[in-house]
Chain A
Amino acid sequence: MSELVGIWVYLAEQPLLWLTVTVGIYAIAHRLFLASHEFPLLNPVLISVASIVGLLLLTDTPYTAYFDGAQFIHFMLGPATVLLAIPLYAQARQLQKQWLPLVLALVVGSVSAILAAVAIGWMLGLEPALLISLMPKSATTPIAMATSEQLGGKASLTAVFVIFTGITGAVAGVPLMRLFGERNADVKGFALGVVAHGIATARAFQHSDKAGAYAGLGMGLNAALTALLVPLLAWLLGLY
């Protein structure tokens, strides 16, 4: 028994343990997600975060000790964000024919997503740091987290808000638009991508390839626009 404790004490001090746990749990969560035919509530990031939070609480491990190992993965977020330019470029090429309606709808959608979050959150009495953390939630996670942190928000809360937004869009978006008589798959896909990023884009692809392509386009464009609009709107609203 004391030998096991000794091994645990040794491992708990090494970055390798939590690095392995993070990658291992994500790999399992990703398999579970695929096995469930990509059911939105089984989002692999959500499941991984919840499981690891549970493990940290159970083992009484401080977040800083966890992050000593996990930082090697975290570091890759920066280069990955730069590389988002590649799919964005591929998607922007499809714009050419309908660029004006799409760009206008993008701007209206992006602004309404940010302002609706601030307005509703403010009415419900949320404090400024939470409002800032909510503002970029329609953008894809790396952009949203970096934007939130830059303005004094909490990046980890933003990550959770982004996932929750994606799941809401993926589960309720299509039924809601159908309720309002929307039948055009391009329109539905684009709205899902702009407001509920990659999680709803995956949902749109299950519907049809065309809806998925429009969702991907909306997601890519709004990632860039959110990064520029959130600082501007936060400044105008006196939150930054």
Chain B
Amino acid sequence: MAGLIAIVLALQLAGEVVVRLTGLPVPGPVLGMLTLFIVLVIRGRAPAGLEGLANALLGHLGLLFVPAGVGVVAYLGLIADRWLALITTLIASTLVAILVTALTLRLLLKRRGEHG
């Protein structure tokens, strides 16, 4: 287990180092995730221990966002100022994107059905 934790931390660390060195605008942990994903594709399966670690940590993923989310306390004035524009943007863009995604997939699946 300690070995697996070390591997996960090392992947994150490697991601952070690459981001610092290259100035790539992708977050370090995301690079770590993509690296791990590629390793899993090459290996053809995920080690059972790593799956257990993922389930343990991702099972209550929501808890991990709370400290950063509370940081919104610094922006209450900004939100009070802009709440209508923000809510309109959030709702409208979410609904537009859901429709576009669903209609695109429906069209593609239909075409595929007609051709084969």
Map CB proximity to B onto A79-103 as digits: 1 under 8 Å, 0 otherwise. Answer: 1111111111110100000101110
A172 within 8 A of B: yes
Most chain B beta-carbon contacts within 10 A, residue among A81, A145, A184, A190: A81
Interchain Cβ contacts under 8 Å between A and B, 29 examples: A30-B62, A48-B66, A49-B70, A53-B76, A70-B67, A76-B57, A79-B9, A81-B12, A85-B36, A90-B46, A105-B105, A113-B97, A119-B93, A120-B92, A130-B86, A134-B90, A142-B64, A159-B69, A159-B71, A165-B90, A165-B94, A168-B90, A168-B94, A173-B98, A177-B98, A177-B102, A184-B109, A190-B105, A227-B30
Point out the residues of chain A lying under 8 angstroms from B46, CB to CB. Answer: 86, 89-90
Assembled-state Cα–Cα distance A80/B103 (Å): 33
Assembled-state Cα–Cα distance A22/B66 (Å): 7
Map CB proximity to A onto B29-68 as digits: 1 under 8 Å, 0 otherwise. Answer: 1101111110011000010001101100110111111111
Question: Do the beta carbons of B70 and A63 come within 8 Å of each other?
Answer: yes
Question: Do the beta carbons of B11 and A156 come within 8 Å of each other?
Answer: no
A109 within 8 A of B: yes
Interface of B (DSSP majority class): helix
Query: How many of chain A's residues have a CB under 8 angstroms from any CB in B?
Result: 104
A-B interface pairs (CB < 8 A), number: 304
Instruction: Output the nearest chain A residue to B105 by Cβ-Cβ distance.
Output: A105
Question: Do the beta carbons of A63 and B98 come within 8 Å of each other?
Answer: no
Residues of B within 8 A of A (CB): 5, 8-9, 11-12, 15, 19, 25-30, 32-37, 40-41, 46, 50-51, 53-54, 57-58, 60-76, 78-79, 82, 85-106, 108-109, 112
Most chain A beta-carbon contacts within 10 A, residue among B9, B50, B63, B78: B63
Query: Looking at the complex, which one of A53, A86, A138 makes contact with B72 (CB distance below 8 Å)?
Result: A53
Please give me the 3 A-B residue pairs with the lowest Cβ-Cβ distance, nearest first: A156-B71, A109-B101, A146-B27
Assembled-state Cα–Cα distance A126/B82 (Å): 8
Point out the residues of chain A lying under 8 angstroms from B109, CB to CB. Answer: 98, 101, 184, 187
Distance of A240 from chain B, by nearest CB (Å): 7
Point out the residues of chain A lying under 8 angstroms from B94, CB to CB. Answer: 113, 138, 165, 168-169, 172-173, 195-196
Question: Do the beta carbons of B29 and A146 come within 8 Å of each other?
Answer: yes
Question: Do the beta carbons of A78 and B29 come within 8 Å of each other?
Answer: yes
Point out the residues of chain B lying under 8 angstroms from A113, CB to CB. Answer: 93-94, 97, 101
For residues 48 through 91 of chain A, which have their beta carbon under 8 Å from a beta carbon of chain B? 48-49, 52-53, 56-57, 63, 66-67, 70-71, 73-74, 76-90
